[in-house]
Amino acid sequence: MGRWEPNPRGRLTEAAMALYAEQGYDNTTVAEIAERAGLTERTFFRHFTDKREVLFVGAVELKDLFVQAVAAAPPSARAMDAVGAALDAAAVSFQDQRPRVERRQAIIRANPELQERELIKLATLAEAVGAALRRRGVPDLVADLTAQAGMAVFRTGFERWAESSDGTPLADVLHATMADLRIAVS
Amino acid sequence: MGRWEPNPRGRLTEAAMALYAEQGYDNTTVAEIAERAGLTERTFFRHFTDKREVLFVGAVELKDLFVQAVAAAPPSARAMDAVGAALDAAAVSFQDQRPRVERRQAIIRANPELQERELIKLATLAEAVGAALRRRGVPDLVADLTAQAGMAVFRTGFERWAESSDGTPLADVLHATMADLRIAVS
């Protein structure tokens, strides 16, 4: 493949994900990713800081999506309903990505360092949601607690959806998981 | 102070915490910790792997305490009640440690690397609680969700208690935080 082919970023991502799945994340070098994509290492580093970033590049967009959805909830919405609106927005954005998500989860599950990074990503997300709730006037403690509980719903529901094969939409799985939380604490 | 003084581990911990608070975690060396404690670096490394471990040495005990309390809850206890029993057990163990906890929290808050380590500690705790719930027969998803929500209560309640100065016992703060979660999801 020549360097004039379009979408270098997408090709690098696809090459990296395929190699991580085939031979493991630790065993894959940037040189191999670039080679598989038919590009140079220099091109790789124009798009990504390192090989880990390929897996976490969506984190900022996801955070923005959550924060904007929380902010856009009606003023009358309670804290957890605002978080629920964010979960609905996330569900829309992930719904058509299941094969990609499934592959990514398998790569992350296989590597303790990536699992730690994923935990930190989710915790950062919870902090951003907590801050967005505080900007709606939710008291500090309730904001943090609601954000963390909401992220527990997102995390467990998301994993359930990524591992299931029955075709249930992510939005439905997240709603069912929120209902499970309600029952668990009642 | 001579090397024959008792409790080297406690002295090293006290010296490390004092130096982290005075001059920052990053700026403190093991040599300085040993010197302040009147001990050698070699003695330090007999007790701790590195300077970070001084701050996280209680993590294993805390995990055991949570897991044992979940396991010891009456068979009829619901998942969140078993987690509540674990929170009560943790409250007893931390109740007299508030000055130490307050100092530790301040050190961790000042350092992003330590914050990440603390998040991972809490996530590991949530995983262990989830596993303990599964051993009680709680279905996987509900176990993980309840464990994560329970840890959200622990984390926010614990911080509230560490930062408050009104003398409310940790157990009461955790109960109030659980009630807040119930209201938030209802």
**pLDDT, tens only, B43-85:** 999 999 999 999 998 899 999 999 999 999 999 999 999 999 9
Look at chain B and count its residues: 186
Q: In this prediction, does ipTM exceed 0.85?
A: yes
DSSP A18-45: HHHHHH-STT--HHHHHHHHTS-HHHHH
Residue B163: pLDDT band by 50, 70, 90 thresholds?
confident
Averaged pLDDT, B152-160: 95
Window B:104-123, CB contacts with A under 8 Å: 116, 119-120, 123
**Residues of chain A neighbouring B141 (CB-CB closer than 8 A):** 156, 160, 177, 180
The pair of structure tokens assigned to A156 is 């467990």
pLDDT at B4: 61
pLDDT at B5: 67
Put simply, the answer to whether A141 touches B79 (Cβ < 8 Å) is no
Residue of B nearest to A142 (CA): B180
**Residues of chain B neighbouring A182 (CB-CB closer than 8 A):** 185-186
- In this predicted model, what pLDDT tens digit does every residue of B118-140 receive, in sequence order? 999 999 999 999 999 999 999 99
- Is A88 in contact with A69 (CB distance < 8 Å)? yes
pLDDT at A4: 61
- Is A30 in contact with A36 (CB distance < 8 Å)? no
CA distance linking residue B88 with residue B26, whole number of Å: 34
**Residues of chain A neighbouring B180 (CB-CB closer than 8 A):** 141-142, 145
For A65, the enclosing helix (H) or strand (E) is helix A59-72
How far is the CA of A155 from the CAs of A67, A77, A84, in angstroms?
17, 22, 13
Residue A167: pLDDT band by 50, 70, 90 thresholds?
confident
How far is the CA of A111 from the CAs of A52, A116, A146, A177, B5, in angstroms?
11, 9, 29, 26, 44
pLDDT at B41: 96
Reduced to 3 states (helix: H, G, I; strand: E, B; else coil), residue A12 is: helix
pLDDT at A3: 52
B21 at A interface, C-beta within 8 A: no
- Is A5 in contact with A12 (CB distance < 8 Å)? no
Averaged pLDDT, B14-20: 96
Question: Which residue in this structure is represented by tokens 């590597």?
Answer: A111
B176 at A interface, C-beta within 8 A: no
How far is the CA of B148 from the CAs of A149, A152, B83, in angstroms?
7, 6, 10
B153 at A interface, C-beta within 8 A: yes
- If 0-12 CB within 10 Å is exposed, 13-18 middle and 19+ buried, where does residue A154 land? buried
Gap between the terminal Cα atoms of chain B:
59
Average pLDDT, chain A: 93
Put simply, the answer to whether B156 touches A144 (Cβ < 8 Å) is yes
**Cα–Cα–Cα angle for B111, A71, B117, nearest 5°?**
20
Amino acid identity, residue B43?
T
pLDDT at B186: 87
| A27/chain B closest Cα distance in angstroms | 24
- In this predicted model, what pLDDT tens digit does every residue of A80-129 receive, in sequence order? 999 999 999 999 999 889 989 999 999 999 999 999 999 999 999 999 99
B80 at A interface, C-beta within 8 A: yes
Look at chain A and count its residues: 186
DSSP A122-167: HHHHHHHHHHHHHHTT--HHHHHHHHHHHHHHHHHHHHHHHH--S-
pTM for this model (two decimals)? 0.89
- Of B1, B63, B56, nearest in space to B25 by CA: B56
Residue A148: pLDDT band by 50, 70, 90 thresholds?
very high
Put simply, the answer to whether A184 touches B79 (Cβ < 8 Å) is yes
- Is A25 in contact with A107 (CB distance < 8 Å)? yes
Question: Which residue in this structure is represented by tokens 């082919």?
Answer: A5
Q: Identify the residue with better confidence: B132 or B5.
A: B132
Residue of B nearest to A130 (CA): B156
Averaged pLDDT, B2-11: 78
Report the residue from A79, A144, A152 with minimal CB separation from B145.
A152
**Residues of chain B neighbouring A120 (CB-CB closer than 8 A):** 116, 119-120
Put simply, the answer to whether B153 touches A145 (Cβ < 8 Å) is yes
For A113, the enclosing helix (H) or strand (E) is helix A112-135
In chain B, count H helices and then E strands.
Answer: 10, 0
- Is A157 in contact with A177 (CB distance < 8 Å)? yes
